[in-house]
Chain A
Amino acid sequence: MTNSLLWYATRGAGAVTEILLTCVVVLGILSTLRVQTARWPRFLTTGLHRNLALMTLVFLALHIVTAVVDPFTNLGWAAAFIPFASSYRTFWLGLGAISFELLLAIVATSLARGWLGHRAWRLIHWLTYAAWPVAIVHGVGTGTDTWSAWMLAITACCIAAVGVSLVWRLTTSSRDPLAAPRLDFRSAVDRREVR
């Protein structure tokens, strides 16, 4: 009974992690688009993005811990941290480990952003575009519930949400309202020609 409870917890936490991670990615993309309305100020996007990211890690930890301590799977801790170290479903679990470590790197560098500097932080943050699809493939590949109607619906919604916001992001030019005045000032104090 305990064992099956752990197994349910692993599957449930996995599904919740997929939903949360998708929300974080979508909010991240929306924040670069500077989306805002009268009822949805911009800080809400970034605040939710940050808090849901931390919550994702909590559910991800639950997902990993319950999977590892489940005596039935006999995974071992190495499988959670070292990609492709697991003998059980080596490839699919390896993808999970990779995605987990990318997310750790992204969150850790975000917490240390002041110390790291904006440029380095931004560069590492681009890894999100690798972590998210790897996580989705991990879920589809090894998920117990992958082909059940409700899980298919969740995964399809997640892919659609990120897909739509990505297309929106790529087809919209920067909405940085500072871009034009910044460029104006820069050209007013630009003396590269003179030298």
Chain B
Amino acid sequence: MAHVLGVSGSYPMLVALWLLPLAGAILCWTFGPQLRTAAGWLVCALVGASFVLAVLSWHDGTQAVSGALGAHQPLFSWMPGFDFGLLLDPLSLLWTFVISGVGFLIVVYSVGYMEGDRAFARFFAYMSFFIFAMLTLVLSDNFVGLLVGWGLVGLASYFLIGFWFERPTAVAAARKAFVINVVGDVGMMFAVFLIVANVHSIGFGDTFAAAGTLGSGLVFAICLALFIAAAAKSAQVPLHTWLPDAMEGPTPVSALIHAATMVTAGVYLVARCAPLWNVSHDAQLLVGTIGGLTALLGAILGMAQWDIKRILAYSTMSQIGYMIMGVGVGAYEGGVAHFFTHAFFKAQLFLGSGLVIHALANEQDVRRMGGLWKKMPFAFWVMLAGVLTISGIPPFSGFFSKDEIIYGALAHGHPWLYAVGIVTAGITAYYMFRLLFIAFLGEYRGDAHIHTGGTAAMIMNVPVAILVAPTVAIGGALMFGGEASPWAHYFAPLFGAPAVPSTPVATPAISEGLTSLLVLVAVAIGLVIAWMRYATAAAQRDAVLRLAIESERMPALLTNLFYFDAAIDLIFVRPAQAAGRFFGQVLDPHVLDGAVRDIVAGTRWFGTLVRSFQTGLLRAYALILVFGAACFIAYYALTGGVH
């Protein structure tokens, strides 16, 4: 892992591609009322320019000069060891492509989707700000810069989830997302403490160079703290509960932030810190296990949803589980590959569902859809492409990246995760086709008027159509051929040879080809079950009734989402509130302030006591005086005076 820090120098393009979206955000914030609809196109132009600059930076980002890989632009320093800068290497370059490229398409889509919204400019300010924040996250060359980006994307996500802030549900979802993400930020802060205390630097380069000398316990602690951050941001169990609620935001937001980019930050983090994870086998096991668990759990919950966006949200959670499992077990290229393909197909799925939601006047319940393939053929075909890809059917992109992860789990010695991966693939196929069949086949069951056409729909269709190509083909184009693929070639200098597990494993009993076959069998089973339940003529006949019965009979465990929310509420939220009420209403006013009031009362009582001697009778004073004098005299008479 010698190739970490880039070639230091001045890279104006890098700085420009980073700051352009910030400029967009500031302009939209400041001149929102004046810009009106131009705000959208302004942000499109700036993000597009950012993407062009990213493409032009390809050479800088992949250059390898005497052991240094990529481009490094120093910015400023707080104090020795606290140096900030930008780092563009193959990993951050890939993320930059997705953030600015997919981001550009989604921003264009939003111009149509958000048409007529009363806070149009504000929306684009947030979107632009998000892209800046996400670029900060992936371009930082140090942990504090990463943490800044980490916090800012959380903020952008908060703003956009709560964008329609007149809805109490959106406000609550935004707050929940933010607070859970702060838990992640705090985890990363702790990792920063550990790193600074032991490495005396916040830089990636210094940290990774020292990784081998830190001791496995310490590295495990750092990885654990970092993974809390990754789990919160990437919706891993048990910090996942905010993601489905985050669907309260506008659909383009779900596509960009809660599918393509921000939620994959955890994958980026683990891949970026590969030198740390390589040292700690325990950390690999932990992250791989949590990833596999999340993949399975997300898929199971995805089967029980009726809201089109929540189905996609759980599928996102599940797919990120795959990625985390991949990077966790050490199959970094596979995990990152799945991020890359997922960014396209999930963006496409969300944008496709956005077409439906937009046409159906914000109807999101699949039970009140049906038969849409006749009325919205374009939406149907893009959704079909997305569903085929996410299910992992060859030769679509998802097949390549997902197989790489599943096989990677076995190759790195985790047969259980391998099995989980295959089962989850089957469940994925089931719930995604279920979505497609219920929403698009049969007869239309809703009562909303389907409104297609118009300029808004035209603007939205273009980016979706453009996305189809990478969704379908990019996996095959880049990842076909295993070790010889362009993908492996691109990442070879970064990740180097696959990480060596602490216990060497023999060549897996199951070959990669057989793995693909197993996955395909699982997918076929899922597909067939979905077909039998929702697509046959019998199932279509009284679909309304059948769906109603199905939702009626849904197990409580699933409708309550495995009680995660209830548990968090019971364990953390309620005790904190109860303590707050006790402290604020009992301890503070009655005990602590009570002590103060007791002092006041004591002083007053003493005053009353002393006052009773002040009779105002001159002769009484004289008597007291005489009495005092007598005491003195008696004292001296008895003791014999002072000598």
Does A pair with B?
Answer: no
A residues engaging B (CB < 8 A)? Answer: none
